[in-house]
Structure formats: structure tokens, C-alpha cells
Amino acid sequence: MINQVTSSPLESFKAEAHKLLEAAVQQRQQEQNVTTGTVQDKVTLGNQPPEDVTYTKAVSDADLGTTFTMLRDLFAATLQEQGVAVKIATGNEEINLETLTPEQATELIADDGYFGVDQTSQRIFDFAVSIAGNDPSRLDAILSGIEDGFSQAEEAWGGTLPEISYQTKDAVMEKLDNWVAGFDA
């Protein structure tokens, strides 16, 4: 399997957070313009018809921290409303999603973090192999279950998962290949 890494999980998260924040700022500006009756500036170049253009400030890293906090709180509240715990056990410790900082989130998804590719793929692999009774003849059932799980996750996320999820899936498949190869040797 070939793994192609286009960006780090933190860069992907920052890019997505920037997009969300910019969209929120634009929506807020549009709502304010409608409620206050403010007319936006228009720019006309040459003999072309006028085109409405809205200028917004760029999103800074400081704003990103605020956005992270806002998204974290929204996520935690949504989980609580659905009766899902906001505290997650990670072996020796417990993560409280209501107080999670950007630095802690970065550590958790780092290569050696609890939710990083290595540890997560190992947990998925261990679970799948134990459910199959450590029987390599059940590889097709394991693969089917993993594919089905990722398909359901993609559907729940609107069709595409974050890149780290695909890296994790590839790592699980590699672990399964090595596991089966160990029985063939």
C-alpha cells in the first residue's frame, strides 16, 4: 500500500477552521447588512457591468483559537444533548472534551498520540483480530467489517473523512497484511 501524506493533521484542521470562521464572518456581515440596511461598496472596471464584492479581514491564528473554543464547546454540547459522554478514557488518563485545548488536541492526533494513526490503527487491528478469534481464515469478514465501518463514517461525515482517517485505514490494512503473512510463513 502506498501512503501519500499531503499535509499534517494540524494543518488540515487549521485550514478547515479558517474556512469555517471566514464563512461565519461573511454570514454575520450579510445578516448585519440586511438588518441595518447597509449597502455594500460596488466596483466597476471598464465597461463591464458592476459586480458586488465584499471584503473581509483575513482570519488570524488568534481568531482560530477563539474558533477552536467555539467549535469545541458546540461539539461538547451536541454530544451532551445526544446523551454521549464528553469524557473519554485514554488508557491511563481521561480527556474532557469541554476543556480540551488546541495544544492537547494536537498532541492527541500526533503520530505518537492516542488518536494518531499508529495507536488508533493498532486498536482497530486488535479489536478486529480478537473478534475473528485470531483466525486468519476470517480475513474477508474482517476486511468487510472495516470497509463497512469506514463507509458508514464517510456517509456520516458527508462523503469524505479527514485525511488522518484514510491514513489510519491504510495502516490497519497494512497490519492485517502483515498478520496474515505471519501465518503463511
pLDDT of res. 11: 66
- Mean pLDDT in residue range 103-122: 90
Answer with the residue of higher pLDDT: 14 or 74: 74
> What percent of the chain lies above the pLDDT cut of 70?
68
Give the burial class of 11: count Cβ atoms within 10 A of its Cβ; 0-12 exposed, 13-18 middle, 19 or more buried: exposed
The average pLDDT across 29-34 equals 64
Q: What is the mean pLDDT of residues 149-154?
A: 92
pLDDT of 4 above 50: no
Which residues are CB-contacts of 108 (< 8 A; sequence separation ≥ 6)? 90, 95, 114, 115, 116
Residue (of 65, 51, 47, 59) closest to 104 by Cα position: 65
Whole-number percent of the chain with pLDDT over 90? 25
Interatomic CA distance for residues 147 and 155, integer angstroms: 12
